[in-house]
């Protein structure tokens, strides 16, 4: 069967990492693709993101890895610093070959700009401020009613609408969203010269660290355990984050001083979700966080979402019938994604008990799994 199919059309809900990557993967194979995004144009939150080796590899399949490397900060080493200031160094595998770094830290708006530019270059239509109101599966195509009162009849509906997916519920594949007693903090700061890779500090208090995202910028992260998922007033974010960073070794004291502006700080709950049933129904499917959201500490959610888009496009090219393609897609993806989500739940529990060392083999096994071919 030809890999180019000019006849098929897809509607994607969500212009996040997974939705935009899927749009390009489908459009590269000749699909006519439209994305409806509930948020306003350019509203991507401004904190930083770590694109792991598997994320970069998947972006490389879309021809976008080098653009991300240029826009971010390439790195290949994670340094773990214990409470006694002793250091352990992990050299990450370079999945893109010896000439490219193992991973990249990048500002989220930069990644979104790269993904959006590519989707637009491939004639993907992106409409903002719109969501999906109803899904009616007919034989073959699916009829999708939108919140602006219009409707589309398409060969494929993709719910890439994140952990609170509406499409997931509309196609009858609900998934509980679980909170794991932790809040994740991120703050954009100037990059200290010594931050040339990820540096994580496992102190007596909360786990924290720094990730470079450009020659001049970095983000500080902190995992707050045994936390209420309450709202901290925006103006208090920097002060509260500094309090949680607490006294520490010299480098923690330095990053603590750098967390200066509350407008550069975000605090998000550690939540996971996993669709237990098949992720598809008829000609509709959920992908990315809508189907399988690991906790943010794993820095693997982006890789899973982009890989989903690539595998979905491959299976659709290999099957005439959308339903069979979606079955094959879920069959290829389910175990890898479930292992990541379930391991991230275990890691969150161990972190709550301050058993950081016990998390290291689990994290290593996930890196190994993710390094294996998609």
Ligand X SMILES: Cc1cc2nc3c(=O)[nH]c(=O)nc-3n(C[C@H](O)[C@H](O)[C@H](O)COP(=O)(O)OP(=O)(O)OC[C@H]3O[C@@H](n4cnc5c(N)ncnc54)[C@H](O)[C@@H]3O)c2cc1C
Contacts to ligand X by CB under 6 A:
13-19, 36-39, 49-50, 55, 131-132, 160-162, 166, 184, 186, 268, 288-290, 296, 299-303, 305
Q: How far is the CB of 149 from ligand X (least distance, A)?
A: 15
103, 51 Cβ separation under 8 angstroms: yes
Closer CB to ligand X, 93 or 140, in the complex: 93
Q: How far is the CB of 127 from ligand X (least distance, A)?
A: 10
As given in the structure block, the two tokens for residue 354 are 């301050």
276, 340 Cβ separation under 8 angstroms: no
Closer CB to ligand X, 5 or 34, in the complex: 34
Tokens 């590899």 belong to which residue? 57
Question: Three-state DSSP class for 100?
Answer: coil
Q: How far is the CB of 268 from ligand X (least distance, A)?
A: 4
Closer CB to ligand X, 45 or 153, in the complex: 45
Q: How far is the CB of 320 from ligand X (least distance, A)?
A: 27
CA–CA dist 254, 257 (Å, integer)? 5
CA–CA dist 34, 17 (Å, integer)? 15
Tokens 């129904």 belong to which residue? 281
As given in the structure block, the two tokens for residue 72 are 């971010």
Closer CB to ligand X, 261 or 324, in the complex: 261
Closer CB to ligand X, 124 or 160, in the complex: 160
DSSP bridge partners of 142: 137, 154
As given in the structure block, the two tokens for residue 264 are 């550069």
Taking the mean position of all CA atoms in its chain, how far away is CA 10? 22
Q: How far is the CB of 156 from ligand X (least distance, A)?
A: 16
Closer CB to ligand X, 248 or 288, in the complex: 288
CA–CA dist 191, 83 (Å, integer)? 22
Closer CB to ligand X, 302 or 316, in the complex: 302
* DSSP code at position 5: -
Q: How far is the CB of 270 from ligand X (least distance, A)?
A: 8
CA–CA dist 242, 264 (Å, integer)? 13
As given in the structure block, the two tokens for residue 294 are 């690991």
89 CB burial (10 A radius; 0-12, 13-18, 19+): exposed
Q: How far is the CB of 361 from ligand X (least distance, A)?
A: 21
Residue 243 has a CB neighbour count (10 Å cut-off) of 11
Closer CB to ligand X, 50 or 343, in the complex: 50
The Cα diameter of the chain in Å comes to 64
Pairing outcome for strands 178-190 and 217-225: antiparallel
Closer CB to ligand X, 37 or 224, in the complex: 37
Closer CB to ligand X, 178 or 319, in the complex: 178
Those residues with Cβ within 8 angstroms of residue 331's Cβ, 6 or more apart along the chain or in another chain: none
Q: How far is the CB of 235 from ligand X (least distance, A)?
A: 20
Q: How far is the CB of 297 from ligand X (least distance, A)?
A: 8
CA–CA dist 309, 52 (Å, integer)? 17
């Amino acid at each position: 069967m030809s890999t180019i199919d000019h006849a098929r059309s897809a509607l994607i809900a969500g212009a996040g990492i997974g939705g935009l990557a899927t749009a390009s993967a489908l459009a590269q194979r000749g699909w006519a693709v439209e994305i409806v995004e509930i948020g306003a144009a350019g509203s991507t939150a401004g904190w930083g993101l770590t694109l792991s080796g598997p994320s970069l590899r998947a972006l490389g399949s879309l021809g976008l890895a080098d653009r991300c490397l240029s826009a971010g900060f390439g790195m290949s080493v994670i340094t773990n610093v214990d409470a006694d200031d002793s250091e352990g160094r992990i050299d990450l595998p370079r999945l893109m070959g010896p000439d490219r770094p193992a991973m990249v830290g990048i500002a989220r708006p930069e990644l979104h700009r790269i993904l959006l530019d590519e989707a637009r270059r491939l004639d993907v239509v992106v409409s903002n401020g719109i969501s999906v109101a109803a899904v009616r599966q007919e034989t073959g195509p699916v009829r999708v009613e939108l919140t602006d009162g219009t409707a589309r009849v398409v060969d494929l509906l993709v719910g890439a609408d994140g952990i609170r997916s509406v499409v997931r519920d509309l196609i009858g594949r609900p998934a509980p969203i679980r909170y794991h007693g932790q809040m994740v903090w991120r703050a954009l700061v100037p990059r200290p010269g010594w931050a040339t890779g990820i540096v994580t500090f496992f102190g007596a208090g909360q786990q924290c660290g720094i990730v470079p995202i450009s020659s001049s910028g970095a983000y500080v992260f902190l995992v707050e355990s045994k936390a209420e998922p309450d709202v901290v007033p925006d103006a208090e974010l920097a002060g509260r984050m500094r309090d949680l960073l607490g006294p520490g070794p010299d480098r923690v004291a330095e990053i603590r001083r750098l967390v200066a502006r509350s407008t550069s700080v975000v605090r998000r709950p550690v939540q996971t979700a996993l669709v237990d049933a098949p992720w598809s129904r008829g000609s509709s499917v959920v992908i990315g966080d809508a189907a399988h959201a690991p906790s943010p500490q794993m820095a693997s959610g982006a890789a899973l979402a982009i890989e989903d888009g690539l595998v979905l496009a491959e299976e659709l090219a290999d099957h005439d019938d959308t339903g069979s393609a979606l079955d094959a897609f879920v069959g290829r993806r389910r175990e890898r994604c479930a292992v990541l989500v379930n391991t991230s739940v275990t890691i969150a529990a161990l972190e709550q008990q301050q058993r950081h060392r016990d998390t290291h083999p689990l994290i290593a096994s996930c890196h190994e799994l993710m390094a294996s071919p998609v």
